[in-house]
Structure 1
Amino acid sequence: MRLTAYGCLLAALMAMPIGAVAQETRNPGIEATILGQFDAFKAQDFGRAFTYASPTIKGMFGTAERFGMMVQNGYPMVAQPSSVRLLELRSVAGGLWQRVMVTDQGGRTHILDYQMVETPEGWQINAVQLLPDAGVGA
């Protein structure tokens, strides 16, 4: 049920009007949040990984264990990546989205968008969207 709710949240965010997309400069706080969560997942420290989630995400999953299970089952490339590379940070419809390239343990590359929100605790992850594979073109 929670995985479905997470998917519904992502679908709702995707359905929002995009408006102008502006390229932003790098944001060290956003980068530290995303990379910190990846480090926590690599260490299988779901409690620490959960601290990087926004209040909305924390409310959806309730516990670090449920959150960790969702990530392991729905985003295995995030749970145990081989490599992570931060790409561009963009402003979309007033929100900040950090694009991330993740290579999984099998050598496959995945592109994800992380919606970031600034809270009193600092930058937190409010949504993660796995982008469709663009395929190979000429």
Structure 2
Amino acid sequence: MSTLTLAQASEIVDSALGHAHELGLRPLAVTVLDPGGHPLVVKREETAGILRPQLAHAKAWGCLGTGQGGAASARYAIRDPAFFTALAAISEGRVASCKGGALIRDAAGELLGAVGVSGDRPDNDEAAAVFGVEKTGLIADVG
């Protein structure tokens, strides 16, 4: 059984933020959670909005809770908004069904955790998340 280390989680967050700077994105918050939904690393850029860490957490936590990446959840939320409204209520608002979240897997496909990024447009948040995970040599499963 593989485990996501603190060093890997830190590298994911720092790589995602570095990539966001290269792309000229707005200030971000990035969080990496273990498979149980517990934070390993959370960083919020100085000028990112005050809710960005909670949104990043909700994106990552939603991926873990639904077992799919944020892109898949976003597609399903459009097709069945009543279900995702119920999901938000059931989870006490801890799920954000939108791009910017990804499951983190090893080469064998084993779930190691999830990453969530918030601060820019959802597609850009997702790009930063994927870059950070892949830079670490792991697989970002966005759905």
Q: Considering the TM-score relative to the shorter chain, is it more than 0.5?
A: no
> Comparing both structures, which one devotes a greater share of its residues to strand?
1
Structure 1-normalised TM-score? 0.28
Larger Rg: 1
